[in-house]
């Protein structure tokens, strides 16, 4: 892998951004740049039954430099930016799809539906976990900051459609909301989490635990009440399991309360 010289990388990214209005040329030049910074030992493929994504394994600063150079053009002409974003997504490399998601996350949300339409399609078509993990986080970063309610409405719509992938995407997308100290509508997070717990009987334990542990840090008492309600109203095996697995994140006093409640579900 070629060592990153920040000054040189900035020039390279600026030269690449000059092709903003020509997606085909941009992609060609982008691959040249990615190959320049690629891991030389081997390139990898992320294989799934419906998709194979290749990767140059470039260091994160490379894509961040490209994104920075494109921000001005994106703000000036978001419609053209969406054309470039679509071309990047269709290219089926880890790096091009990562850049597509990151650019979608910073494009001016003049028409939020156009952003959500892309995300919904990408969630249903992408089976590469490295990409799925950023779709509802980095892919909505600007919208989450400027209009969080729209993003949460989108999450609710995702849960109306069947599929584990949608529920996984929502769980991943809830974490930044739970982490944001300025976001105070925690009840909507608990509502969405409750929907997932009730609908999906198996799986997604890892994602659920991340959301719950983040919520415990934000509001331990509300999360305690939430779990007690879940146990009282549903007590499904998965709810019992995740409750046991987050016990140590609570204070000793609240651990004792939950343990007492769990005794009814041995």
| Residues paired with residue 52 on neighbouring β-strands, in sequence order | 47
- Euclidean distance between CA atoms 55 and 45, whole angstroms: 6
pLDDT in the model for residue 40: 65
pLDDT in the model for residue 202: 74
**Residues 75-84: what's their mean pLDDT?**
97
Q: What percent of the chain has pLDDT over 90?
A: 81
pLDDT in the model for residue 235: 72
Given a contact cutoff of 8 angstroms between Cβ atoms, the answer to whether 217 and 186 are in contact is no
Statement: residue 48 has pLDDT above 50: no
pLDDT in the model for residue 161: 86
Q: What token pair was written down for 56? A: 């140059």
Q: Is 47 exposed, middle or buried (0-12, 13-18, 19+ CB in 10 A)?
A: exposed
Banded pLDDT at 237 (limits 50, 70, 90): confident
Each residue's pLDDT tens digit, 98-130:
999 999 999 999 999 999 999 999 999 988 888
**Residues 56-82: what's their mean pLDDT?**
96
H or E element that contains 84: helix 78-90
Most confident by average pLDDT, 155-164, 218-227, 235-244, 257-266: 218-227
Mean pLDDT of all residues belonging to the chain: 92
Domains of the chain, each with CATH number or no CATH: 1-146 (no CATH), 148-266 (1.25.40)
Each residue's pLDDT tens digit, 169-227:
999 999 999 999 999 999 999 999 999 998 766 789 999 999 999 999 999 999 999 99
- Euclidean distance between CA atoms 248 and 82, whole angstroms: 45
pLDDT in the model for residue 160: 92
Statement: residue 27 has pLDDT above 70: yes
Give me the torsion for CA of 238, 152, 158, 170, rounded to 10°: -40
**Residues 118-145: what's their mean pLDDT?**
94
pLDDT in the model for residue 1: 60
pLDDT in the model for residue 35: 95
């Amino acid at each position: 892998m070629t060592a990153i010289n920040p000054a040189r990388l900035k020039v390279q990214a600026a030269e690449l951004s000059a092709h903003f209005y020509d997606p085909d040329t941009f992609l060609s030049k982008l691959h040249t740049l990615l190959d320049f910074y690629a891991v030389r030992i081997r390139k990898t493929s992320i294989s799934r039954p419906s998709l194979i994504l290749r990767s140059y394994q470039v260091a994160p600063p490379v894509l961040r430099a490209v994104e920075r150079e494109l921000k001005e053009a994106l703000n000036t002409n978001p419609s053209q930016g969406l054309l470039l974003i679509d071309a990047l997504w269709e290219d089926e490399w880890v790096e091009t799809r990562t850049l597509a998601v990151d650019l979608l996350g910073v494009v001016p949300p003049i028409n939020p539906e156009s952003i959500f339409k892309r995300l919904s399609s990408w969630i249903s078509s992408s089976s590469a976990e490295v990409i799925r993990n950023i779709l509802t986080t980095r892919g909505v970063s600007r919208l989450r900051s400027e209009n969080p309610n729209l993003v949460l409405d989108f999450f609710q719509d995702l849960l109306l459609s069947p599929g584990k992938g949608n529920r996984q995407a929502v769980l991943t997308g809830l974490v930044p909301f739970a982490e944001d100290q300025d976001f105070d509508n925690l009840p909507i997070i608990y509502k969405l989490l409750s929907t997932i717990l009730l609908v999906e009987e198996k799986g997604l334990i890892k994602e659920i635990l991340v959301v719950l542990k983040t919520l415990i840090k934000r509001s331990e008492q509300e999360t305690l009440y939430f779990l007690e309600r879940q146990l009282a109203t549903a007590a499904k095996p998965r709810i019992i399991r995740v409750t046991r697995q987050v016990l140590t994140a609570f204070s000793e006093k609240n651990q004792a309360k939950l343990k007492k409640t769990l005794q009814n579900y041995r």
